[in-house]
Amino acid sequence: MAEYLVLIYDDETVLAAPGSRQESGQLLADHRRFMAAHETAMRGGNALWPSATATSIRPDGTGGFSVTDAPFAETKEAVVGYYLIEADDLDEAVAIAQQVPTVAGGVEVRPVQTFG
């Protein structure tokens, strides 16, 4: 078995729109059903606050760091949540990830590299 991180991307403006699935609580209910359906694979997961709350830290080229109140990259779709799952292989991880509820975005599956 291996661990995979499933990054959930979505359009934050669509998520925040009046009457959206997120606003109505439907998206949360969809995620709860997803987690229950895959409880044996689940190792963790959470939603993230909007990207406007992000703080980015980058080397400044002088040995210090530049700290910015902004996401690392400005994109239409932002990382809005994640799941850490365990699966036999990438095919199984993808099959699980294809069922992650999203509104207008998608998911990215990445194998977790462990140290030690």
Q: pLDDT per residue over 17-38, tens digit each?
A: 888 777 678 889 999 999 999 9
Position of tokens 């909007």?
50
Which segment, 22-26, 52-56, 65-69, 87-91, is predicted with the most confidence on average? Answer: 87-91
| Length of the chain counted residue by residue | 116
How many Å apart are CA 43 and CA 111, to the nearest integer?
13
If we measure between CA atoms, which residue out of 2, 17, 4 comes closest to residue 100?
4
pLDDT of the residue at 73: 66
pLDDT band per the 50, 70, 90 thresholds, residue 15: confident
pLDDT band per the 50, 70, 90 thresholds, residue 41: very high
**pLDDT at residue 77 above 80?**
yes
**pLDDT at residue 64 above 90?**
yes
Domains in the chain: boundaries: 2-111
CATH number of the 2-111 domain: 3.30.70.1060
Using a 10 angstrom Cβ sphere, with 0-12 exposed, 13-18 middle and 19 or more buried, the burial of residue 35 is: middle
